[in-house]
Amino acid sequence: MRTFEELESAVRSYSRGWPTVFTKAKGYKLWDTDEKEYIDFFAGAGTLNYGHNDNAMQQKMIEYIQSDGIIHSLDMGTTPRKDFLERFKEVILTPRNLDYKIMFPGPTGTNTVESALKIARKVTGRETVISFTNAFHGMTIGSLSVTGNSFKRRGAGIPLHHSVSMPFDNYVDGHDSIVYLERFLEDSGSGVALPAAIILETVQGEGGINAARMDWLKKVEELCKRWDILLIIDDVQAGNGRTGTFFSFEPAGIDPDIVCLSKSIGGIGLPMAITLIKPEHDIWGPGEHNGTFRGNNLAFITAAEALKNWENDEFSKAVQEKGDFLKKAVEMLIEKYPELNGEARGRGLMQGIAIGKEGLASDICAEAFKRGLIVETSGPDDEVVKFLPPLIIDEEGLEKGLQLLEDSIQHVLN
């Protein structure tokens, strides 16, 4: 008899790092079949910014199901869809003076990226897209073609075309990588094709919590404007408040042409994605880009409920304060344990420690799991311990998690 794990394809990954069977979760905690408690510093890779099983979101779903609300509706008009769209405009777009059309590209992150890459090509009539070293944009062929991770790219088994990878900010020691980008675009007159778009994460999540500087982002935007290239911000992981503001690019004062959101946009962890498109680029006619699961009404309900957190500044301020607290704690650990050869990275509640000794980050995460902390590595060599706690975590949760982390560090260093 095959165990349930053997029944699954060898491609499964997370269950290997956390070899247990989880049963339930609330807020920033999970439990397994042995009723062992875990603190969640992972939040479904940034999908559970509002925590597990938020009471109000649960209640709204229950009421809707019990009233025979329509569950599946393709892209037909429904009350939850209408309510979500109106609230998104009222709470997110209008106060930020942003003008976007909202598209539902399909249920996941890679769907929003695919739609962005596709519409940018149609708008500009150009073929290539510039992306950055260590970027992660998804696993389907288009989004994989702009993903700067050779292991993941090799999964396609074929060369992936029409993508140009440039060094991300802070990537090239001692050089400002913007110079490379500028030079490349200047060369476009001499036989190098101008790209349709530049796609980037302001903080690379899977790529190792590399946070771009605000002035670097501003310069990328300037170059896009100068060369008439569309700027796509992939805010799938860094958006939805993860860095302290709803959109991760807000402090940079940039105005992207296209924004990709998924993961926590659904509020409670239900699959949902949206692509925000400047009205002048919204050129697809009806049905020119479609998909069956673009109308998840349960997700619209929990997404609309989640947006209540953004009706005033309190939620955002709290995330920034908790982010500062986490950053200080991470810096203290780095100072206390020089053997880690560590470097603090990140913004808001998207933080990490890059560890200068091979294999140590994975060992720390494995030990943390045994002690009841869910924490993951990221970066090209899995060299970064990455912290993405739910944004609703309180100080007690952060302290508890940090203590388990420190115990794990001590254990692996001894």
Give least dist CB 45 to ligand PMP, A: 5
Shortest gap between Cβ of 371 and ligand PMP (angstroms)?
Answer: 25
Q: Output the CA–CA distances (angstroms, integers) from residue 221 to 125, 138, 139, 224, in the order listed.
A: 20, 23, 26, 5
Q: What one-character-per-residue DSSP string does 249-270 give?
A: TGGGT---SEEEE-GGGGSSS-
Q: Per CB under 6 A, does 237 bind ligand PMP? A: yes
Q: Of 329 and 375, which CB lies nearer to ligand PMP in the complex structure?
A: 375
Q: Is 78 in the site for ligand PMP (CB under 6 A)?
A: no
Question: Min. distance of Cβ 105 from ligand PMP in angstroms?
Answer: 11
Report the residue from 52, 81, 87, 137 that binds ligand PMP according to the rule CB under 6 A.
Answer: 137
Q: How far apart are CA 326 and CA 348, in angstroms?
A: 8
Minimum CB–partner distance for residue 326 and ligand PMP (Å): 19
Residues 370 and 25: their CA atoms lie apart, in Å, by 18
Residue list 185-204, contact with ligand PMP (CB under 6 A): 201
Question: 234 or 257, CB closer to ligand PMP?
Answer: 234
Q: How far is the CB of 204 from ligand PMP (least distance, A)?
A: 8
Closest CA to 308 of 104, 29, 56: 56
Q: Look at residues 249, 299, 276 and name the one whose alpha carbon lies nearest to residue 93.
A: 276
DSSP string covering 193-246, please?
Answer: PPPSEEEE-SEETTTT-EEPPHHHHHHHHHHHHHHT-EEEEE-TTTTTTTTSSS
Tell me the DSSP string of 43-110.
HHHHT-TT-BS-HHHHHHHHHHHHTT--SB-TT---HHHHHHHHHIIIIIIGGGT---EEE---SSHH
Is 205 a binding residue for ligand PMP by CB under 6 A? The answer is: yes
Percent composition of the chain: helix, strand, coil (DSSP 3-state, to 5)? 45, 15, 40
| 234 forms part of the interface with ligand PMP (CB under 6 A) | yes
In the list 54, 87, 88, 108, the residue contacting ligand PMP (rule: CB under 6 A) is 108
Q: Does 259 bind ligand PMP (CB under 6 A)?
A: no
User: Which residue sits closest to ligand PMP, CB atoms considered?
Assistant: 109
Which residues ranging from 140 to 169 are in contact with ligand PMP (CB under 6 A)?
Answer: none
User: Residue 131 or 177: which CB sits closer to ligand PMP?
Assistant: 131
- Nearest distance from C-beta of residue 137 to ligand PMP, angstroms: 5
Binding of ligand PMP by 206 (CB under 6 A)? yes
Q: What is the largest CA-CA distance in the chain?
A: 65
Query: Which residues form the interface with ligand PMP (CB under 6 A)?
Result: 45, 108-110, 113, 136-138, 201, 205-206, 234, 236-237, 262
